Amino acid sequence: MVDKVVKLSCNNLVRRYATAPVPAIPKSDFIPKQYTGPSYQKTEHVKSEHLPPAVYNIYQRPLLLHQGRMQWLYDHEGKQYLDLFGGIVTVSVGHCHPKVVGALQDQINTLWHCTNIYRHPKIYEYVEQLVSKLPGDLKVVYLVNSGTEANDLATLLAKAYTGNLDVVSLQSSYHGYSSALMGLTATQSYRMKLPVPPGFYHTMLPDPYRGIWGGCRDSLSQVPGACACPGDCVTADKYVNQLNELLENSIPKGRLAALFAESIQGVNGTVQFPKGYLKKAHQLVKKYGGLYVADEVQTGFGRTGDAFWGFQNHGVLPDIVTMAKGIGNGFPMAAVVTTKEIAAAHAGTTYFNTFGGNPMAGAVGQAVLDVIEEEELQNNCKVTGKYFIEQLMQLQKIHPVIGDVRGKGLMLGFEFVVPGTKEPLAVTDVNAIHEDMKDMGVLIGRGGRWSNVMRIKPPMCINRQDVDFTVSVLDQAIKNYLRNKK
């Protein structure tokens, strides 16, 4: 047994407790390069002096990451970590995937940049390949640089096409961080105490775990005592009625431009909706003259397993789809895809994007799509994701501090609560578990209103061995935490 120290940020307490042997990390033949960058102490100084305080550290002892290979990351000392967060759901096919790296290197040696006011082959090759993955009339592609930019452009398109000004999103949603999208985003921690543009409204979040009517969701894991509807969930109508009340009472008639919704809420901790909710909400929004914008920034590109796009799991066809993150496996690129009819409403003004659709982005985007298909990563999300959630459900039976397990494919989450209640586990306690998992070699995301949800969105190439390692680390971290609480 060894002594371990966890420093808690909220009250600067230092806890010491005995831990069991650390689970063995899966072996890898990869040998990282020798680190030659600035010292850890130097990065601490630069961070405190020159980076904004809003850019926070998620660990008490932050990592200095040096290199990545597929699902693995390596710090400046050469320690290996299993990456279960993929750079905030961004590394889709694997860190430094050789095919993606090769495509980028070839393009860098050919042409870096010329903007899309000129023609270059990669933009045409890529958009043709991308639209082949989309259903219906979703055939017009705007290439941009980030999810925030994509959602901002989608807002503009919806207003231009409908002639209406008001936009609805779900409570606790995250759609970007800009002065305009701060109104669309409905997560308190991302809302500054500043006025936002008018015309943004938030409807009730249909949450089977914490919502007032509960519900059943498209997941192997259900809330204890939830209904088991064979088709659409009976609670979907109740939550949709709340959307209807918002449209009837708060939005002037003829002003609805769009409803924005993720297929599964990401930043809010992998919140799924009752079955049938999005389909019925879409129908209602159409009745009021609005469009449905599917935010696929986190759920797209096969991550949910059963479908390439998250909205396909809900049986709906959006008017506009936004995508980013996994689209470029970490390369800064994003897209908005819509119909020719909607895009035509934008044609009255000139539009260009300095970096969107640059030759490097086109080459990377093509390679990512190729790898997803060639390595059957969507199916891996389905198969490995099923195994993962099953193991988490088993762990939930052992540790009642896990209040809920949810998700689909390799977009999973589990929520820490005070056992026997739905009260969120204290942040200091979640910090201790989170830090301990990192020290044992697993990097995992955080989210949810109270930062008590662990978010699992790894590179889509992880395997069962990685799942077993993660579950053993999580089990040990919870045991360490419980031992310390006695």
Mark whether 366 and 401 lie in a shared domain.
Answer: no
Residue 12 has pLDDT above 70, yes or no: no
| Digit-coded pLDDT (tens) for 416-457 | 999 999 999 999 999 999 999 999 999 999 999 999 999 999
Sheet holding 256-262, edge to edge: 140-144, 334-338, 320-323, 291-295, 256-262, 166-170, 200-203
State which H helix or E strand residue 69 sits in.
strand 65-69
Q: Sorting pLDDT into bands at 50, 70 and 90, what band is 6?
A: very low
In this prediction, residues 365-393 reach a mean pLDDT of 98
- Per-residue model confidence (pLDDT) at position 20: 64
Q: Output the domain CATH number for residue 208.
A: 3.40.640.10
- Per-residue model confidence (pLDDT) at position 192: 87
- Per-residue model confidence (pLDDT) at position 485: 85
How far are the Cα atoms of 33, 58, 99, 364 from residue 102, in angstroms, in the given order? 19, 32, 5, 9
| Digit-coded pLDDT (tens) for 394-407 | 999 999 999 999 99
Mark whether 68 and 129 lie in a shared domain.
Answer: no
Residue 17 has pLDDT above 70, yes or no: no
Identity of residue 271 = V
Nearest-5° Cα angle at 246, 244 to 249: 105
The least confident of 12-21, 55-64, 288-297, 333-342 is 12-21
Mark whether 383 and 431 lie in a shared domain.
Answer: yes
How far are the Cα atoms of 166, 175, 195 from residue 180, in angstroms, in the given order? 13, 11, 10
392: domain range?
A: 2-95+377-485
| Digit-coded pLDDT (tens) for 204-235 | 999 999 999 999 999 999 999 999 999 999 99
Mark whether 28 and 128 lie in a shared domain.
Answer: no
Distance CA 35, CA 448 (A): 35
In this prediction, residues 168-180 reach a mean pLDDT of 95
Mark whether 392 and 301 lie in a shared domain.
Answer: no
- Per-residue model confidence (pLDDT) at position 313: 98
Nearest-5° Cα angle at 243, 279 to 297: 55
Helix (H, G, I), strand (E, B) or coil at 17: strand
- Per-residue model confidence (pLDDT) at position 196: 87
Distance CA 423, CA 8 (A): 20
In this prediction, residues 137-166 reach a mean pLDDT of 97
In this prediction, residues 182-187 reach a mean pLDDT of 94
Mark whether 168 and 316 lie in a shared domain.
Answer: yes
Mark whether 395 and 360 lie in a shared domain.
Answer: no
In this prediction, residues 126-149 reach a mean pLDDT of 98
Q: Sorting pLDDT into bands at 50, 70 and 90, what band is 28?
A: confident
pTM of the model: 0.94
Q: Output the domain CATH number for residue 470.
A: 3.90.1150.10
How far are the Cα atoms of 99, 123, 465 from residue 108, in angstroms, in the given order? 14, 15, 36
Mark whether 355 and 264 lie in a shared domain.
Answer: yes
In this prediction, residues 320-346 reach a mean pLDDT of 98
Mark whether 136 and 265 lie in a shared domain.
Answer: yes
Q: Sorting pLDDT into bands at 50, 70 and 90, what band is 10?
A: very low
Q: Of 374, 397, 414, which residue constitutes the final position of a domain?
A: 374
Nearest one of 424, 419, 438, 422 to 476, comparing CA atoms: 438
Distance CA 239, CA 212 (A): 9
Distance CA 8, CA 407 (A): 29
Mark whether 331 and 224 lie in a shared domain.
Answer: yes
Q: Of 317, 349, 374, which residue constitutes the final position of a domain?
A: 374
Mark whether 388 and 400 lie in a shared domain.
Answer: yes
Helix (H, G, I), strand (E, B) or coil at 433: helix
Nearest one of 459, 373, 335, 361 to 103, comparing CA atoms: 361
Q: Of 374, 406, 433, which residue constitutes the final position of a domain?
A: 374
> Which tokens in the block code for residue 41?
């102490």
- Per-residue model confidence (pLDDT) at position 139: 98
Q: What share of the chain is helix, strand, coil (3-state, %, to 5)?
A: 35, 20, 45
Q: Sorting pLDDT into bands at 50, 70 and 90, what band is 21?
A: confident
Give just the sign of the alpha carbon dihedral 69, 72, 74, 79. negative
Considering its fold, how many domains does the chain have in total?
2
In this prediction, residues 307-316 reach a mean pLDDT of 98
In this prediction, residues 300-313 reach a mean pLDDT of 98
Distance CA 481, CA 60 (A): 16
Mark whether 317 and 458 lie in a shared domain.
Answer: no
> Which tokens in the block code for residue 297?
């920034």
Question: Average pLDDT, whole number, for the chain?
Answer: 94
| Digit-coded pLDDT (tens) for 411-422 | 999 999 999 999
Q: Sorting pLDDT into bands at 50, 70 and 90, what band is 4?
A: very low
Residue 5 has pLDDT above 70, yes or no: no
